[in-house]
Amino acid sequence: MSTSFAAEINSVLAALILLTSFGLLVQRRIYGLLHIFAWQGLLLSISTAIVGYTAGLHHLYISALLTLTIKVIVLPYILYLLIHRLRIHKEVEDMINIPTTMLIGIILVILSYHLMSPIRELSTLVTRSTLAVALATVMLGLLMMITRKKAVTQIIGFLAMENGLFFAATSATYGMPLVIELGVALDILIAAFIFGIFFFQIRTTFETLDLKAMEKLKEEE
């Protein structure tokens, strides 16, 4: 595989990752969010493997396998069990309507390309064209956290933002050291279990996971 061809494939994957970020913003069904998040993890693992092959960095193969295992299989399964146990079957509720959210998302993407343009010109890496997409993915994940009412959907936004950070690390420096990546992967799994326990406790105490409802209860106290 030539370097230019690998760069083109990576750019296509970056575009698809960005598309899944917008998909998370507009998706209104909770199980649909899990499917899109899993697809985003799959695209991220493929991109990491291609970068590892092109750069000759074998530790990126392990990173790709970790991403595939944790973000495509383990985390979606944990979140599925959590949603099933909490009996969350309603549509996702937004604080801002979808057209406005999409408009903000497009502005964030344009801003990301503007901020990354000087760095892209100086970089000599194969992944330099995906730096802006990585930053946009982080910002769109943060936007999802801000615009969603339910705690579970905000967690999916947090995990999508972490995907963007991992993609940024791969694009900027060909990934983090393997020890750090293993530590981050373990932290994410532990966080998923803690979030699950935390959600169960919230549901038991407040009988809802709507943050607005919990804020009203706090104001009444």
Write the pLDDT tens digit of every residue in 79-105: 888 777 777 665 566 677 888 889 999
Cα 69 to Cα 13, 45, 62, 75, 157: the distances in Å are 19, 9, 10, 9, 19
Instruction: Give yes or no for a contact between 24 and 102, defined as CB atoms under 8 angstroms apart.
Output: no
Q: What range defines the domain where residue 58 resides?
A: 3-220
Write the pLDDT tens digit of every residue in 182-208: 556 666 666 666 666 556 555 555 555
The candidate with the shortest Cα–Cα distance to 132, out of 101, 171, 102, is 171
Instruction: Give yes or no for a contact between 156 and 191, defined as CB atoms under 8 angstroms apart.
Output: no
| pLDDT of res. 127 | 64
DSSP codes, 148-159: B-BHHHHHHHHH
The candidate with the shortest Cα–Cα distance to 130, out of 101, 173, 159, 162, is 173
Give the whole-angstrom CA distance, residue 91 versus residue 164.
25
Write the pLDDT tens digit of every residue in 121-154: 766 666 677 888 888 999 998 898 888 877 778 7
- pTM score, two decimals? 0.79
**Count of domains forming the chain:** 1
